Amino acid sequence: MYSGGYAGRILRINLSNKTAKEEPLSEEMARDFIGGSGFGIKYLFDEVKPGTDPLGPDNKLIFAPGPFTGAGIPSASRMAVTGKSPLTGAVGMALSGGQFPAEMKFAGWDAIIIEGKADKPTYVAIKGKDVRFHNASHCWGTLTSDCQQIIKDELHDQNVRVCCIGPAGEHLSKIAGMINERRAVGRKGLGAVMGSKNLKAIAIRGTDPVDIASKEKYSTARTALLKAFKESPVLYSEFSQHGTPMVADLTGAMGVLPAKNWSETGEFVPVEGIGREAQATRKVGREHCHDCPVGCSQLKLAQTGEYAGILSEGPDFETVYSFGSGVGIDEIDPIVAADRLADELGLDSISAGVTISFAMELFERGILTLDETEGIDLRFGNDEAMIKVLRKIAYRDGLLGDLLADGSLAAAKKIGKGAEKYAMQIKGLELPGYDVRGLKGHGLGFATSYTGADHCRGYAFQEVFGVPVPWEVDRLAIENKGKLTIWNQDVRTATLDCAPMCAFLLDMAVPATACQNTASLMEAVTGLSFTPEEVLEAGERVNNLAKAFNVREGFTRADDTLPERLMTEPLKAGSSKGQVISRNDLDTMLDEYYSLRGWDVKTGTPTRAKLTALRLAYVADALGL
């Protein structure tokens, strides 16, 4: 039995009847799913029936930190939030850092399952085992920073940690997220799920420390990890100082920084205006997640014109793309402003930016008229228009706001006229800032990600940083990308999503030994002994289970695809000029991927044999395999 790390308790909150119930965490669950997204996807598959309306009372939200969260392990103040995504209809899972995840553990919970629907706006205040349901009618409509402050004041506790939705979640925008402090649970529309439940916020406070199974092993494992941090050539020297935006310079140089809704990648490369150096001019501070020495999160202050005085945590690289190059903006201040506004409104900054860039391309192509944009001159590069539309999306304001509030794919379907060609999304989720035409592994990764086009699922650091782990990789090659993608997906799932720990751990600190690192920490913190292979298998298990959820919802091989543009329009300029992933390329990669996964190559479905080998025979039953 585990003897540390885990609290051993799951909290189940039913909003319909205002009940809170404690359930034990079994060792089997801990062993097989570790925590984080593992717990979330397990509960999702087991408890959310096929065909459930993502915005109905039967959908659930599972907030799950992991065994290391709050245990003093650097980079582990993370949680996964899981539910059925209203944007994709597939598994919706998003990760967040900050202080909230650790506070969940201090309050004594390995996961909080939210189910049902409150009859009126509500927030839940959790203080250890004490759970209270508060009327939130007065908070309904508030921006996320104000909401957090109102709740802290009302609870007479400035140290309570609050995770809440903004107006976007209230208006059921399918690209709405949640915010805790200045950090987002951004993607897949989970903010709308919270809104559909009339749940404005969860406030949590705990005081009990997390137990450690073996102080001696803990000290050894933690020291080894900190040493790996220190030895990384980039972690403290670059990443702590510049955060994720340094990636804009890298991808810009590689010709894979998507621009103007992916129509001018390699041509429009505004790195001077929005890259590492430009960002540094706006930096006023750093923020550290709980017990993490890295502090990669940068506080930036806009300086010019009407944006002067706007502070944001970020923009992170993805936002530099979505509110910058992606919409044809080449200055930093509008990006900082849009980043803060998206956080205040509770909007996913990636999907919001990409949905706006989609509308901009339609506008420039005459598919959306000035009449349809309500007089907004929605051309690329118009930052004022971007800010206006951002607000409209959050409030579903006017026809345009309502049209875009459900993301680019839903909007394209409503618009018709061939608009779908310009919706840069996979399974409905807008693409992150890596043009896959010059990063083939990313193409396969995004296509097969169980959440859609997700930088946290489909990322291949080997292609961006050139790190030869577990082997040397040619970013432009099609060959062996199935094998690479599976390695990345399973290692990431186990070590980053389930543990959960921060992405840089894998990319920058322990690329070759991530599973060993997680295994050592598991033994030290929880007392459960794990081999690196068992860690990796947990990742594979979770990926199979997530895939099974999607299959049960009707997803097939045909959904594991890329936007048409990326398969038909080669890059026109830059270091990746001429590159494209043809339909044939993608199929080649998919065949390899499914085959190595042990899945049915034709349908892209996990087989009974594979599921059984992963101790998931009941899943095979559920799928009727």
Contact residues for its own copies (CB under 8 A)? 138-139, 141-143, 145-146, 150, 152-154, 158-159, 166-167, 284-285, 287, 299, 301, 303, 306, 308-311, 344-345, 391, 395
What would you report as the CA-atom Rg of the chain, rounded to the nearest whole angstrom?
A: 22
CB of 234 to its own copies, least distance (A): 24
Closer Cβ to its own copies, 306 or 377, answer by number: 306
Please enumerate in sequence order all residues whose Cβ is within 8 A of that of 378, keeping only pairs 6 or more positions apart, or say none: 359, 360, 363, 368, 385, 389
Q: Name the nearest CA neighbour of 322 among 348, 288, 295.
A: 348
Shortest Cβ distance from residue 149 to its own copies (Å)?
8
Instruction: Kindly state the smallest distance separating residue 276's Cβ from its own copies, in Å.
Output: 19
Q: How would you classify residue 268: left for phi > 0, otherwise alpha for psi between -120 and 50, otherwise beta? A: beta
Question: In the complex with its own copies, which residue's Cβ is closer, 17 or 158?
Answer: 158
Task: Name which of 168, 189, 195, 170 is nearest 92 in CA terms.
Answer: 189
Measured in residues, the chain has a length of 625
Query: Rounded CA gap, 273 and 421, in Å?
Result: 29
**What is the nearest approach in angstroms of its own copies to the Cβ of residue 240?**
16
Secondary structure class of 622 (helix, strand, coil): helix
- The minimum distance between CB 18 and its own copies, in angstroms, equals 22
Q: How many angstroms separate the CA atoms of 198 and 133, rounded?
A: 12
Nearest-approach distance from CB 34 to its own copies, in angstroms: 31
The two three-digit tokens of residue 208, written as one number: 């009990």
- Please report the DSSP string for 125-178 in residue order: EEETTEEEEEE-TTTTT--HHHHHHHHHHHTT-TT-EEEE--HHHHTT-TTB-E
Q: What's the 3-state SS for 230-248?
A: HHCCCHHHHHHHHCCCHHH
Closest distance of CB 288 from its own copies, Å: 9
CB of 145 to its own copies, least distance (A): 7
Alpha helices in 266-331 (DSSP H): 271-274, 276-280, 317-322
* Nearest one of 608, 622, 503, 606 to 556, comparing CA atoms: 606
Q: How far is the CB of 324 from its own copies (least distance, A)?
A: 21
Q: Which is nearer to its own copies, 311 or 617 (CB)?
A: 311
Nearest one of 97, 95, 113 to 37, comparing CA atoms:
95
How many alpha carbons fall within 13 Å on the CB side of residue 293?
A: 15
Which amino acid appears at position 295 of this protein?
Answer: G
Q: Using CA atoms, how far apart are residues 92 and 41, in angstroms rounded to an integer?
A: 9
443 near 586, Cβ under 8 Å?
yes
Rounded to a whole number of angstroms, the minimum distance from the CB of residue 102 to its own copies is: 14
Number of H helices, E strands in the chain: 28, 19
Report which of 508, 500, 482, 481 is spatially closest to residue 542, judged by C-alpha positions: 500
Nearer to its own copies, 225 or 310 (CB): 310
Say if CB 200 and CB 121 are below 8 A apart.
yes
Token look-up 């291949």 returns: 460
For residues 106 and 599, which CB has a smaller minimum distance to its own copies in the complex? 106
24 or 293: CB nearest its own copies: 293
**CB of 273 or CB of 295, closer to its own copies:** 295
Residue number with CB closer to its own copies (285 or 468): 285
Q: Name which of 181 and 249 has its Cβ closer to its own copies.
A: 181
The pair of structure tokens assigned to 429 is 């989720």
- CB-based contact 94:349 (threshold 8 Å): no
Closest CB to its own copies among residues 184, 590:
184
Three-state DSSP class for 401? Answer: helix
Nearer to its own copies, 81 or 143 (CB): 143
| Least gap, CB of 280 to its own copies (angstroms) | 13
Minimum CB separation from its own copies for residue 146, in Å? 4
Pull the structure tokens for residue 403.
């049209």
Q: Which is nearer to its own copies, 152 or 421 (CB)?
A: 152
Distance in angstroms (rounded) separating the CA atoms of residues 361 and 341: 22
To its own copies, the closest distance from the beta carbon of 159 in angstroms equals 5
Residue 181 Cβ vs its own copies, minimum distance, rounded to whole Å: 9
Asked if 346 contacts 339 with a C-beta cutoff of 8 angstroms, the reply is no
Measured between alpha carbons, how far is 511 from 419 in angstroms, rounded to an integer?
41
Q: Which residue type occupies 58? A: D
Choice between 243 and 438, CB closer to its own copies = 243
Measured CA to CA, the distance from residue 258 to residue 442 in angstroms comes to: 13
76 vs 310, beta carbon nearer its own copies: 310
The C-alpha atoms of residue 127 and residue 264 are separated, in whole angstroms, by 51
CB of residue 138 vs its own copies: minimum separation in angstroms? 4
